[in-house]
């Protein structure tokens, strides 16, 4: 039996799998962003029950492993009688995961907008929706940028977990190539390097945004 070695075509396969990692990240951040936005709004709502429900949702999502969200959506979707490709289960679970964390991050950002901004906009006879739209959210968005980008790094890394249910993204591609070449050290170092190439610039961007945000403030 002739073993393949880890060469250019194998590296090309890793690169094509990296595309799936990025697609999954975009799905997670898009879907999780939409749900997380409403979770954050509910968390800062004036209705007590909305706050409690959103708070419980966040506590539960942050108190269970991503792997369990993945398994539950994988088996849950198939129990519902849907024969879906792993991408759907992977996308759904990553979306749920991201929504729990983004909801909490953005809640903090909404609440860190000074209280006077609420009072000032209220005294201008704005409705609550107008207050959010014109006064609070634009400021919260600016505050949220560094931590949101920082969280994107976590999402990129955690998409690797979807390899466990057989979704072929970067980590899974690494396993497949390792099975063909038996050069685990080289293969997984290459995989790690590819993740690093994606994550490191994001980390640095997050840090740069953080520094820029604090320019002029006494911290």
- What DSSP element (H or E) covers 184? helix 184-213
Give phi and psi for 135, each to the nearest 5.
Answer: -115, -55
Cβ distance to another protein smaller for residue 130 or 175: 175
Question: Could you tell me which residues come within 8 angstroms of residue 207 by beta carbon, excluding any fewer than 6 positions away?
Answer: 146
Residue from 92, 103, 124, 101 nearest 45 by CA:
103
Question: Which residue matches tokens 């979306």?
Answer: 95
Please say which residue, 8 or 185, places its beta carbon nearer to another protein.
Answer: 185
Copy the structure tokens of residue 194: 């590819």
Q: Can you give the C-alpha Rg of the chain in angstroms?
A: 21
Contact predicate 102/40, CB 8 Å: yes
Nearer to another protein, 102 or 135 (CB): 102
- The least CB distance from residue 119 to another protein, in Å, is 26
The smaller minimum CB distance to another protein, of residues 126 and 198, is found at 198
Q: Work out how close the CB of 212 gets to another protein at its nearest, in angstroms, rounded to a whole number.
A: 12
How many C-alpha atoms does 24 have within 13 Å on its Cβ side?
A: 32
For 180, phi then psi, to 5°, come to -85, -30
Minimum distance, C-beta of residue 158 to another protein, in the bound complex (Å):
7
- Cβ 77 to another protein shortest distance, Å: 10
* CB closer to another protein out of 113 and 156: 156
Q: Which residues bind another protein (CB under 8 A)?
A: 58-60, 62-68, 71-72, 75-76, 79, 81, 101, 104-105, 146-147, 149-151, 153-154, 157-158, 160-161, 163-164, 171, 174-175, 178, 183-185, 188-189, 191-192, 195-196, 199-200, 203, 206-207, 210
Q: How far is the CB of 103 from another protein (least distance, A)?
A: 10
């Amino acid at each position: 039996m002739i073993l393949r070695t880890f060469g250019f075509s194998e590296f090309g396969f890793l690169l094509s799998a990296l595309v799936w990692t990025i697609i999954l990240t975009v799905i997670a951040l898009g879907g999780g962003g939409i749900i997380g936005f409403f979770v954050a709004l509910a968390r800062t709502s004036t209705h007590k029950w909305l706050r409690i429900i959103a708070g419980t949702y966040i506590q539960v999502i942050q108190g269970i492993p991503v792997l369990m969200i993945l398994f539950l959506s994988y088996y849950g979707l198939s129990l519902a009688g849907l024969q879906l490709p792993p991408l759907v289960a992977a996308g759904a679970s990553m979306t749920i995961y991201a929504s729990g964390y983004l909801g909490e991050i953005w809640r903090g950002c909404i609440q860190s907008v000074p209280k006077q901004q609420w009072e000032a906009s209220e005294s201008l006879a704005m409705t609550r929706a107008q207050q959010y739209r014109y006064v609070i959210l634009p400021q919260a968005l600016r505050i949220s940028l560094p931590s949101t980008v920082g969280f994107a790094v976590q999402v990129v890394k955690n998409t690797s977990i979807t390899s466990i249910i057989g979704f072929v993204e970067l980590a899974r591609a690494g396993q497949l190539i390792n099975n063909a070449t038996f050069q685990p050290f080289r293969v997984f170092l290459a995989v790690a390097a590819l993740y690093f190439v994606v994550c490191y610039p994001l980390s640095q961007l997050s840090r740069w945004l953080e520094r820029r945000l604090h320019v002029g403030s006494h911290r």
